[in-house]
Amino acid sequence: MEGNEEKSGGIATNIGVHFFDMLSWIFGPPQRNIVHIKRPDIASGYLELKKARVRWFLSLRFEDLPKEALDAGKRSYRCITIDGQPFDFTDGFQELHTKLYEEV
């Protein structure tokens, strides 16, 4: 399961754009952005925002899901850690585009 970079721009722009948008909405505009890994199935880096420093990791590979997500039968995992406290926001994204298009 790999993204087609020529069609979508890659994992960071196709999937990560929503994550980066949310982070900048909450923590302010980007001040610095460094990409450490850029592959069709994985991307990671460092994003410095006005009010936060973020180490990010995006993956399309099931083997990168945490054990608890795999044990629960989940196919995705979304979590941010703020002041040492994890905040899991995995649920609620299923069929998001379909729901949005139905409302439009």
How confident is residue 56, by pLDDT bands cut at 50, 70 and 90? very high
pLDDT, tens only, 63-101 = 999 998 899 988 888 888 999 999 888 876 666 667 767
30-44, 47-61, 65-79, 81-95: least confidently modelled range: 81-95
CB count within 10 Å of CB 58 equals: 20
Domain ranges of the chain: 5-103
d(CA 44, CA 12): 9
pTM of the model as a whole: 0.78
Here the tokens at position 98 are 């379909």
Q: Please give the CATH architecture assigned to the domain spanning 5-103.
A: 2-Layer Sandwich (3.30)
Residue at 30: amino acid letter: P
Predicted local confidence at residue 1, as pLDDT: 44
